[in-house]
Amino acid sequence: MGNATEQKGSSPVAGKTLIFAGIVVIVILLVTVIVLLTTGRNGEKKEEPKEEAKRAVVLSEENAEEVAEDFFSEDYTPPGYFTATMNNVWNFATGDSVSEDAYVANDTSNSNDIYFDIFIDGDDQNPIYQSPVIPLGGELDKIRLDKKLSAGSYNCTMVYHLVDENQNTLSTVNVGVTINIDS
C-alpha cells in the first residue's frame, strides 16, 4: 500500500514535468524555424526589379519603421499619378493684379506634363484661370487670373490634368485653393 501511495504522489509531478518539457521543445522549434526563415531569406537576396522588390516586403512589427522610412524617402511617382507642389492660399492686391505668392510646380518625379484650371466652388463650367502646360520640373508663379474678381475670399477648386505627349488627359485630381482679393 505504501508503494501505491508513492506512485500516485509522483505521477502528477512527472506529468507536469513532461508537459513543461514539451512546451520548451515547441518553443525551441518555433524559434529555430523563425531564425532559419529570416536568415534564409536574407542569404538568398537576388537582384529584383524595383516594383517586385516592393511586393516581396512583408510588413511586421520588426521592420515597420524601416519599411515606412523606405516608403517616405521614395521619389518615384507611378505613371498616371502625379505630385504637384503648390500653396493653397493665393493672395491678389486687386482682382486683375498678379499674385506675389501663387505658385505651382510640376515635380520632377512625375511621369508627364500637367496643366490646371481653377473654378469658383459651385461653378465648374467657367474657369477663372487656365494654366499653360507645365513641363516636368517646370514651375509657374506670378499668376494673373483670367477673370477679374471683386474683393473678397473665394473657395475654389483647382483641377489638375496629367497629360501625355499629345496633351490628352491621362488623369485628373481636384485640390482646394482659397483666392483672396484685397480690393
Buried b (16+ CB within 10 A) or exposed e, 99-132: beebebbbbeebebbbbbbbbbeeeeeebbbebe
Report CA-CA distances (Å) from 21 to 1, 14, 32, 35, 109.
31, 10, 16, 21, 58
Contact indicator for 104, 84 with CB cutoff of 8 Å: yes
Q: Using the predicted structure, report yes or no on whether residue 3 has a pLDDT greater than 50.
A: no
Per-residue model confidence as pLDDT tens digits over 102-160: 999 998 888 889 999 999 999 999 999 999 999 989 999 999 999 999 999 999 999 99
pTM higher than 0.75 for the full model? no
Report the distance separating Cα 143 and Cα 99, nearest Å: 6
For domain 84-181, say whether CATH 3.30.450.20 is its number: no
Q: Quote the pLDDT of residue 144.
A: 97
Q: Residue ranges of the domains in the chain? A: 2-72, 84-181
Measured in whole angstroms, the distance separating CA 103 from the mean position of its chain's CA atoms is 23
Report CA-CA distances (Å) from 92 to 76, 124, 144, 179.
34, 22, 8, 8
**Mean pLDDT, range 95-99, rounded to an integer:** 96
Per-residue model confidence as pLDDT tens digits over 74-87: 555 555 567 778 99
